């Protein structure tokens, strides 16, 4: 070699040090060995030590004699050379002008610990039974539900994107449909429940250990429900409907927990002493403690119940708690035995307001002689023995607390929607005092130190109405004054005209507005009145206005006041009812179920007419009448759902409601006719219009690419409504077309819609509630098609889902999916509901003629695309499809690559960017794009001290310590240091270090390492000083992709730097200094953290000519760099040899056509590059 660089010298010295250490160790061992035993070892070791010393000295001498490559002094006057990898000849380089250029800061990058599991976890949601008939089955069902919810809570979002929705809807189904709710003392005597047994007698199967297990399982289910529901954003129209789900599910869980806690275990003569009643059970019965559901009863009056299962659950839970209160004759005025009475003192959790809860804890503690001078410590768990002895009390307390917490009407106490870890829902109780010395229970959970309070000093401040959301069906919500009766309207100076949101044009005339508001003053009659009001040719289109939609929806879906069983045979004597009789103007479940059970034809006919009138205005998907059409469809689906539920109860197919939900034979026949009319409208008019509109959107997206985002948003809305339309289809009525529509819509939404952004009119929880309702039926239908070898129906449905993966503007290419064969993944004993694309298949007709039919393959085999029907999860090559995250899309480097590949269309589109989730770890997020062969890796930020270590830079730079031949270093660097690196007091200036070895007097370049006071022993800045050029470069150490790079921040000569730094051209207050005539850039003494970064790399698929082609099994098609060239974007590959460029040649390898260029046949011309004294070399 003609010269050595710093890396070469460091490697040589490292080897010399290793050799020296080995020689010294051998000599030490020989010295320790007695000469009498081995007389030859010591002389040999001594000779070896001296030979090693000579060798090391020789290496040091050679290193001193050899010139440094950056100094350009190899004897010829030419700058150092490098090896041309193509020709094998040495070439001249100008890199010596910029020494240290080869010192790149490279290091191993660790993406961090993966979040979630590495493989797809089979979460079997079909494990829940279809029916529960015994207490043993109920306990087993709770266990299964807990196992499923725990898997959904801990699985990564890349493996199961919709885990919170699936968990919420599973528990909604569990507590509102599957589990029989407990009955109170009075109802148990009227009709004993075979599961819960009688009120006073011992339960034949329940033991104390089973009682404790059930309470703890319900507690964990409630905590998982809390973190899942709080992850969802609910601030607009979805808030009211989802609030109904949350408070109703938690009320049912609380009723189950209360009944379990009050169960007497089996007969003591048949059980062990340890299985005798818990002190909690004994204290609840003997102390006559009960829970007051008044707050739930008040709030549930105005909640919008989209599906009436919630109304039935509400009636059952309120009836249970009210019967317990009456059974124990609890005095609600004094409230001494009311437990968990947070709502009575405005959710402030005052200790003085929890007299009943404290009395319950004291009664339990007295049985074990456990005393505490502050009995509130028994409730909070500050006295640890209380929860240690009776863990069932802690579970019971926390279950009811979460229910009461969600009933708080001050929404400021709730945390912002985000992803919560399940452990954050574990409530930690304590005792605290406010500024006035009042004690209250302080709960720490969900990332808040004081969960129930607005902040540390402000307790909740609920509105006086007792409602979190005032009802839009109240006339006073739309007038300036108080309006309770029709006479109050006459004194209003002006009435609302409900202007259109876009144009501002009034939607109703003053007379129509007066009529609408007058109907709202009679709550018990307003449903048929409002439907008749809007079912006119001139008013149906008014329902495109948002306020009118909310008025009609609240009128139809709010359950209203609840009529208790003991009042069902009473009637008001006066019209209007007096104050003493107002409680009789109510319904046993909801107003809608009451109307349908007595006069269904009025409601069903009016809803059908309303839907027909709005559909008569249908034209284009972009028409202003579309919102009115979609609203009428949503309203009709929810009323059809109520009719179906009523028919199931009346016919005895569902007997969950208590008191019984019945209908006369005449009303039942009207229900069947009305439901058939609605279903015919859905199937004959609504769904065909949806098909036309989706085709229109696909054509529009192809013709106008800049509108693709808008078209995709409209398509997502239509697919969501299509799912809703098919919600009430019975399992026996499912056919290929309906299953195809359901799965296609879910697949499209999963691939093109960003959930939890509140962009749909349909609440997203309703979509997954529909999936929960039809999951078993769809899987059963597909499995039946497999067993009967019905290949056309099986493949037709799944190919339709496959087509939905394409972008809206590429729907025309969807016919290509007909060439792929879908198979079942695994057999029935493993996991039902997984289907995958195996390979290209023969036409259906030919395949059906074969004996094989629908094939079943092992779950371990690789698939290009797999659809999990249970989870509605689409995976591409084993990875989940997710929308591209905002932080990646907003990165400038990513945008540059994306736009360069897709043109201006890529610059304007974001929602259509779909990707495969390869990895999400603590440090990196890796996404592979589907539209172009690129992989984006988003690296997390790094702290400011993420810098390289100093190594052997240990000589402190000090002007006074410099040698005479080193004074030029201070002459160049001191002006820079004083300008940039002297901070104002009290901050300490950074330190700069040099090599400990003396600087060669002939050296022309010196490097200094800057160390910040807050990141000691780490290189923060690099300063390069050029003696001959009288030039200074200041480099900052920055991280990109968790790799450290030098970035030129400042130079005293912008003409000789590798970065495009421009000198200042603004007016100056003083002339340039001599050393800064051409200075550019700036640096600082501040230590800053490293920002998040995004790296983009190219991916390849072996043997593929486009996305979706078949790949070889048992190979990783994502990481094959030799398949791609810099100028090869994928489109040229399909052209074959016709697209060869210049001196390229085509050849075939592994079944793939490739190209390569010939190596250079003649050596390149060697050019000597040197610098004259009076010229400056330009880089």
Instruction: Calculate the dihedral angle through the C-alpha atoms of 1099, 1100, 1105, 1111, rounding to the nearest 10 degrees.
Output: -130
> Which one, of 937, 933, 883, lies nearest residue 1109 by Cα?
933
Give the Cα separation of 254 and 317 in Å (integer): 9
User: Pairing mode, if any, of strands 865-868 and 856-857?
Assistant: unpaired
Q: At what angle are helices 208-230 and 135-154 packed, to 10 degrees?
A: 40
pLDDT at 42: 81
What CA–CA distance (Å, rounded) separates 923 from 942? 9
User: How many angstroms separate the CA atoms of 256 and 261, rounded?
Assistant: 9
User: Which DSSP string do the residues of 1069-1128 spell out, in sequence order?
Assistant: SSPPPGGGTB-EE---S---PBPPEEEEEE---TT-SSTT----TTS-TT--GGG--TT-
Q: Which of 766, 768, 748, 772 has its CA nearest to residue 238? A: 766
Q: What is the DSSP letter of 24?
A: H
451-454's contacts with Cβ under 8 Å and 24+ in sequence apart are 451/405, 451/413, 451/427, 452/342, 452/347, 452/348, 452/349, 452/405, 452/408, 452/413, 453/348, 453/413, 454/410, 454/412, 454/413
The Cα 600–Cα 608 span in angstroms is 12
pLDDT at 1108: 35
Q: Residue 911: its pLDDT value, please?
A: 53
What ranges make up the beta strands (E) of 850-971? 856-857, 865-868, 873-876, 879-883, 914-920, 924-929, 934-939, 955-956
Q: Is the CB of residue 994 less than 8 Å from the CB of residue 1008?
A: yes
Looking at residue 449, what is its pLDDT?
93
Res 221: pLDDT: 97
Count other C-beta atoms under 10 Å from residue 790's C-beta. 18
d(CA 149, CA 175): 14
Roughly what angle, to the nearest 10 degrees, separates helices 391-406 and 355-366?
170
The single-letter DSSP state of residue 350 is B
Question: 3-class DSSP state for residue 813?
Answer: helix
- The confidence score (pLDDT) of residue 853 equals 61
Picking from 97, 91, 69, the residue whose alpha carbon sits closest to that of residue 4 is 69
**Measuring CA to CA, which residue among 244, 235, 299 is closest to residue 463?**
299
Residues of the chain with pLDDT under 70: 1-3, 5-7, 68-110, 113-121, 236-237, 267-275, 658, 789-791, 806-819, 827-830, 838-853, 859-864, 877, 901-912, 931, 1100-1179
Which pTM was predicted?
A: 0.77
* Helix, strand, coil percent content, the chain, rounded in steps of 5: 45, 10, 40
Query: Within 10 A of 779 (CB to CB), how many other CB atoms are there?
Result: 19
């Amino acid at each position: 070699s003609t010269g050595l660089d710093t890396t070469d010298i460091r490697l040589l010295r490292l080897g010399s040090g290793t050799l020296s250490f080995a020689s010294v160790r051998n000599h030490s061992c020989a010295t320790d060995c007695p000469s009498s035993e081995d007389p030859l070892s010591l002389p040999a070791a001594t000779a070896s030590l001296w030979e090693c010393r000579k060798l090391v000295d020789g290496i040091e001498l050679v290193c001193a004699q050899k010139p440094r490559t950056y100094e350009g002094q190899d004897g010829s006057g030419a700058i150092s050379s490098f090896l041309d990898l193509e020709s094998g000849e040495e070439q001249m380089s100008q890199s010596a002008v910029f020494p240290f250029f080869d010192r790149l800061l490279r290091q191993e990058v660790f993406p961090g610990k993966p979040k979630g599991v590495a493989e797809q976890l089979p979460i079997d949601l079909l494990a829940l039974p279809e029916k529960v008939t015994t207490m043993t089955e109920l306990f087993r069902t709770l266990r299964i539900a807990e196992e499923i919810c725990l898997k959904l809570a801990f699985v990564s979002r890349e493996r199961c994107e919709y885990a919170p929705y699936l968990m919420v809807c599973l528990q909604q189904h569990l507590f509102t449909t599957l589990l029989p709710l407990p009955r109170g003392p009075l109802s148990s005597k009227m009709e004993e429940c075979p599961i819960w047994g009688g009120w006073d007698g011992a339960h034949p199967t329940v033991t104390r250990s089973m009682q404790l297990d059930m309470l703890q399982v319900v507690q964990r289910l409630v905590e998982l429900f809390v973190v899942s529901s709080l992850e969802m954003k609910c601030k607009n129209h979805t808030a009211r409907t989802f609030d109904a789900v949350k408070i109703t599910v938690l009320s049912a869980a609380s009723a189950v927990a209360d009944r379990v806690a009050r169960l007497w275990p089996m007969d003591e003569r048949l059980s062990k002493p340890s299985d005798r009643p818990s002190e909690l059970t004994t204290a609840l019965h003997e102390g006559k403690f009960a829970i007051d559901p008044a707050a739930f009863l008040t709030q549930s009056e105005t909640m919008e119940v989209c599906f009436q299962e919630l109304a039935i659950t509400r009636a059952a839970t309120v009836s249970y708690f009210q019967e317990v209160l009456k059974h124990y004759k609890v005095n609600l005025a004094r409230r001494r035995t009311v437990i968990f009475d947070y709502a009575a003192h405005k959710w402030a959790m005052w200790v003085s307001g929890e007299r009943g809860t404290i009395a319950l804890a004291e009664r339990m503690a007295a049985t074990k002689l456990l005393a505490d001078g502050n009995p509130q410590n028994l409730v909070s768990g500050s006295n640890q023995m209380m929860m240690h002895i009776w863990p069932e009390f802690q579970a019971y307390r926390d279950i009811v607390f979460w229910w009461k917490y969600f009933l708080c009407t001050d929404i400021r106490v709730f945390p912002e929607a985000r992803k919560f870890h399940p452990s954050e829902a574990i409530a930690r109780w304590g005792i605290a005092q406010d500024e006035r010395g009042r004690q209250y229970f302080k709960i720490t959970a969900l990332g808040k130190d004081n969960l129930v309070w607005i902040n540390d000093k402000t307790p909740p401040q609920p509105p006086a109405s007792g409602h979190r959301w005032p009802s839009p069906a109240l006339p006073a919500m739309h007038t300036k004054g108080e309006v309770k009766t029709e006479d109050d309207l006459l004194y209003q100076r002006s009435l609302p005209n409900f202007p259109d949101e876009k144009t501002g044009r009034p939607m109703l005339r003053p007379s129509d507005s007066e009529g609408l508001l007058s109907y709202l003053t009679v709550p018990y009659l307003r449903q048929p009145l409002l439907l008749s009001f809007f079912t006119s040719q001139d008013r149906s289109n008014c329902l495109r206005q948002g306020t009118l939609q909310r008025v009609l929806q609240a009128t139809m879906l709010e359950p209203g006041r609840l009529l208790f069983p003991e009042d069902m045979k009473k009637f008001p004597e006066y019209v209007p009812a007096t104050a003493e009789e107002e409680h009789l103007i109510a319904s046993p479940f909801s107003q809608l179920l009451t109307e349908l059970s007595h006069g269904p034809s009025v409601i069903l006919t009016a809803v059908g007419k309303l839907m027909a009138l709005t559909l008569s205005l249908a034209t284009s998907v972009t028409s202003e009448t579309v919102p009115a059409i979609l609203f009428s469809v949503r309203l009709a689906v929810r009323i059809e759902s109520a009719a179906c539920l009523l028919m199931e109860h009346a016919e005895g197919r569902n007997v969950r409601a208590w008191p019984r939900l019945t209908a006369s034979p005449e009303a039942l026949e009207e229900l069947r006719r009305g439901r058939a009319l609605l279903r015919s409208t859905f199937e004959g008019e609504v769904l065909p219009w949806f098909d036309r509109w989706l085709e229109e959107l696909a054509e529009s997206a192809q013709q106008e690419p800049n509108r693709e985002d808008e078209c995709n948003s409209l398509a997502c809305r239509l697919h969501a409504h299509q799912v809703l339309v098919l919600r009430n289809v019975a399992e026996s009525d499912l056919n290929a077309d309906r299953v195809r529509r359901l799965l296609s819509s879910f697949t499209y939404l999963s691939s093109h819609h960003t959930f939890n952004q509140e962009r749909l009119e349909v609440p997203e929880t309703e979509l997954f509630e529909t999936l929960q309702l039809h999951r078993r039926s769809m899987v059963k239908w597909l499995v039946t098609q497999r067993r009967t070898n019905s290949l056309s129906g099986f493949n037709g449905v799944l190919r339709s889902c496959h087509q939905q993966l394409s972008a809206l503007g590429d729907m025309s290419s969807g016919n290509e999916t007909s060439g792929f064969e879908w198979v079942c993944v695994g057999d029935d004993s493993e996991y039902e509901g997984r289907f995958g694309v195996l390979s290209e298949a023969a036409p259906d007709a030919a395949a059906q003629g074969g004996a094989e039919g629908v094939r079943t393959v092992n779950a371990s085999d690789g698939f290009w695309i797999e659809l999990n029907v249970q989870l509605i999860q689409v995976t591409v090559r084993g990875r989940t499809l997710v929308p591209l995250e905002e932080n990646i899309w907003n990165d400038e480097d990513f945008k540059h690559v994306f736009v360069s590949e897709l043109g201006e269309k890529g610059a304007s589109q974001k929602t259509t960017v779909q990707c495969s989730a390869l990895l999400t770890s603590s440090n990196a997020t890796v996404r592979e794009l589907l539209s172009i062969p690129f992989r984006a890796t988003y690296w997390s930020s790094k702290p400011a001290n993420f810098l390289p270590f100093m190594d052997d830079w240990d000589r402190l730079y000090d002007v006074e310590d410099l040698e005479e031949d080193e004074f030029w270093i201070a002459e160049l660097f001191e002006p820079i240091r004083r300008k940039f690196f002297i901070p104002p007091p009290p901050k300490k200036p950074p330190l700069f270090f040099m090599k400990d070895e003396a600087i060669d007097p002939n050296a022309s370049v010196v490097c200094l390492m800057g160390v910040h006071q807050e990141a000691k022993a780490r290189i923060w800045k690099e300063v390069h000083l050029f003696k001959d050029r009288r030039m200074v470069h200041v480099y900052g150490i920055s991280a990109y992709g968790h790799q450290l790079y030098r970035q030129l921040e400042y130079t005293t000569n912008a003409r000789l730097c590798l970065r495009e730094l421009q000198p200042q051209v603004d007016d100056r207050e003083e002339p340039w200094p001599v050393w800064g005539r051409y200075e550019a850039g700036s640096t600082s003494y501040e230590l800053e953290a490293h920002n998040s970064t995004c790296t983009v790399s190219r991916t390849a698929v072996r043997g593929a000519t486009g996305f979706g082609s078949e790949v070889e099994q048992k190979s990783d098609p994502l990481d094959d760099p030799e398949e791609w060239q810099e100028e090869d974007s994928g489109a040229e590959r399909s052209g074959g040899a016709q697209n060869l460029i210049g001196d390229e040649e085509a050849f075939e390898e592994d079944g793939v056509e490739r190209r390569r260029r010939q190596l250079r046949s003649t050596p390149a011309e060697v050019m000597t590059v040197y610098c004259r004294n009076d010229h400056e070399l330009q880089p």
